[in-house]
Structure 1
Amino acid sequence: MACIKFFASLREQLKCAEMEIHIPSNADVTWLIEHLVSQHSDWQEALQRKDLLVAVNQTLCSKQAPISNTDEIALFPPVTGG
């Protein structure tokens, strides 16, 4: 099972720090986001932001990046500050 981690304000919005999910073969990050929204409809606004950042195994990637059951997938809002 893949480990999904939520960071920063996203963690606060979703009220969830991490979860494990079975990832089917040929899945990508877009599939994961759609799956999470289908299971938690109140997460839609937070997870379908265009500026949502994704890292797979601690490497930033696009939403088209392939994922598997051995991956750690981190979702987080854009970093801001001064």
Structure 2
Amino acid sequence: MIKVRFFALLRERLGTHEISLPSQGIATVNDAISALAQHNSNWSQIFTDQEVIAAVNQQLVDKDQSLQSGDELALFPPVTGG
């Protein structure tokens, strides 16, 4: 399993702070995001419309980063400020 944690506005829009994905068939962060987008139509729209930043095991990564069972994937919206 891959533990996926959501932060900030992303957590609010999804209505949850954490979900687990089966690691089978999920090789990269992009694969995990695609699997999350298939959860339901609301999630599909969120992951299609919103750019996310990813961290694996508390390290910022590119979306082509490989994933393994037991990894923790954190997703959060880009930081903005004014």
- Same fold, TM-score > 0.5, yes or no: yes
Q: What TM-score does the superposition give when structure 1 sets the normalisation length?
A: 0.87
User: 1:10-59: CA deviations, max 9, x gaps?
Assistant: 00000010011111266101111111111222112322356310000000
- CA distance change for structure 1 residues 49 and 64 in 2, over 3 Å: closer, same or farther? farther
Matches within 5 A, 1:43-58: 43-49=43-49, 51-58=51-58
Unaligned 5+ segments in structure 1 are none
Structure 1 ranges of 4+ moved more than 4 A: none
Identity %: 39
**CA RMSD of the aligned region, Å?**
1.7
Q: What TM-score does the superposition give when structure 2 sets the normalisation length?
A: 0.87
Q: Which residue of 2 is the match for residue 77 of structure 1? A: 77
Query: Could you tell me whether the CA contact under 8 Å between 2:5 and 2:19 is conserved in 1?
Result: yes
Residue 81 of structure 1: CA displacement? 2.5
Unaligned 5+ segments in structure 2 are none
Whole-Å Cα distance in 1 between the matches of residues 39 and 25 of structure 2? 19
